[in-house]
Amino acid sequence: MESVETIIIGAGLSGIYAAFLLSQKNREYLILEARDRTGGRINGCEYEGLVSDMGPSWYWPDIHPKITRLIDDLGLSGYQQYENGFGRFQNHTGDVNTVRGYATEPPSWRISNGIPALISQLSCSINEKNIRLRHPVCSIEKTASGLRVGVGDPGSVPLSIFDAKRVILALPPRLAASTILFTPDLSYELTQEMLKTGTWMAGQAKFCAVYTEPFWRDHGFSGQGFSQYGPIGEIHDGSNNDTPPYGLMGFLGFPAVRRHNEKELKTAMLEQLKSIYGEPAENPAALFYMDWAREKYTATEYDQPPMMYHPLYSPPAGKISIWDDTVRFAGTETAEEHGGYMEGAIIAAERAVTNI
């Protein structure tokens, strides 16, 4: 049995940033991550230097000062989302029209070389021995001397045990309530609030089609597209600024219940891209697809219905911690401001390491 001062559950942005802050304080910590990689919902697929963001894609410098400053401090660079030219709109019968393009307000920005670069740079300050991958937490027990954390499948006997003075829950509240056995039981009110807190992006699926040439730009299109027909609902230019190769990326409009056959979906997606942008769109150099509703370390059965609006997130039941401040909530869904965004993940992580 290992003992450590602070255990961070989850190696997404909030968990990695909490570890980064504790490293700067020279505090002892250990990250337990269920996946075989870090980043959580930040994930990217690479093709010849283009990293396609399959999780979050944007940040907004005008309203997100913390993530903007962090990007600068880490020596990363950003660029404004390409939005020059006309948009495309496909109605429910499949007819396609050219429409006036528009610039998002405030302007959307992307990180050069993909948002996973943010995780990579933060991880440079974290010793590899402080991250345990393939360590899904299944139980947290309050003891006379602190906390006991079990690792294993939910409902099973823990395969390994860790003792800690405190735990930072850097994962979505709904996922924590669904997969971790708390002893003693959490209050009914808190458990219900955690289960009712929808996990941002958990019901979404994203794609990116990579091309050697930006043919849509050559025809005066911005890459913005919206459709009421076919699997794709929303499209954006997914290129890395003006550096080849180039990409069209976006979100599927089909709910999770209609996304079971990935092969058929990809065929339909390419046919739809062809109908919107012409022949060249049907033959990308690479096609990436990510369905977050199929990711058991992101989504639960409650996340399968589509989320129709961006929730107003806050700490569950108004609590930033439980059990005499030994278990602290982090994760973007628990942020007081900008919940669901990377800014919220940073805010929640900073709060969780306060006074450690």
Per-residue pLDDT reduced to its tens digit, 21-52: 999 999 999 999 999 999 999 999 999 999 99
Here the tokens at position 207 are 């794609």
Can you give the pLDDT at residue 307? 86
What ranges make up the beta strands (E) of the chain? 2-9, 29-32, 44-47, 50-53, 78-80, 86-90, 96-99, 109-111, 131-132, 137-142, 147-151, 160-169, 181-183, 205-211, 221-227, 232-237, 246-252, 286-291, 321-322, 327-329
326's CB contacts (< 8 A; 6+ apart) are 142, 146, 147, 165, 166, 167
Contact 307, 222 (CB under 8 A): no
Can you give the pLDDT at residue 113? 93
Q: What percent of the chain has pLDDT over 90?
A: 95
Mean pLDDT of 90-103: 95
Q: H/E element holding 264?
A: helix 262-277
Mean pLDDT of 176-194: 97
SS3 119: helix
Can you give the pLDDT at residue 103? 87
- Average pLDDT over the chain reads 96
Max Cα-Cα span within the chain: 68
Distance CA 221, CA 243 (A): 17
Can you give the pLDDT at residue 261? 96
Residue-wise DSSP of 187-218: PHHHHHHHHHSPPTTTT-EEEEEEESS-HHHH
Can you give the pLDDT at residue 308? 81
pLDDT at 69 over 80: yes
153's CB contacts (< 8 A; 6+ apart) are 136, 138
Can you give the pLDDT at residue 315? 97
The predicted-structure confidence for 280-334, as pLDDT tens digits, reads as follows 999 999 999 999 999 999 999 999 988 888 999 999 999 999 999 999 999 999 9
pLDDT at 156 over 80: no
Can you give the pLDDT at residue 310? 92
Here the tokens at position 65 are 């000062």
What is the 8-class DSSP label of residue 107? Answer: P
**pLDDT band for position 102 (cuts 50, 70, 90):** confident
**pLDDT band for position 159 (cuts 50, 70, 90):** confident
Whole-model pTM: value is 0.96
pLDDT at 155 over 80: no
**pLDDT band for position 158 (cuts 50, 70, 90):** confident
The predicted-structure confidence for 201-241, as pLDDT tens digits, reads as follows 999 999 999 999 999 999 999 999 999 999 999 999 999 98
Can you give the pLDDT at residue 181? 97
Can you give the pLDDT at residue 154? 80
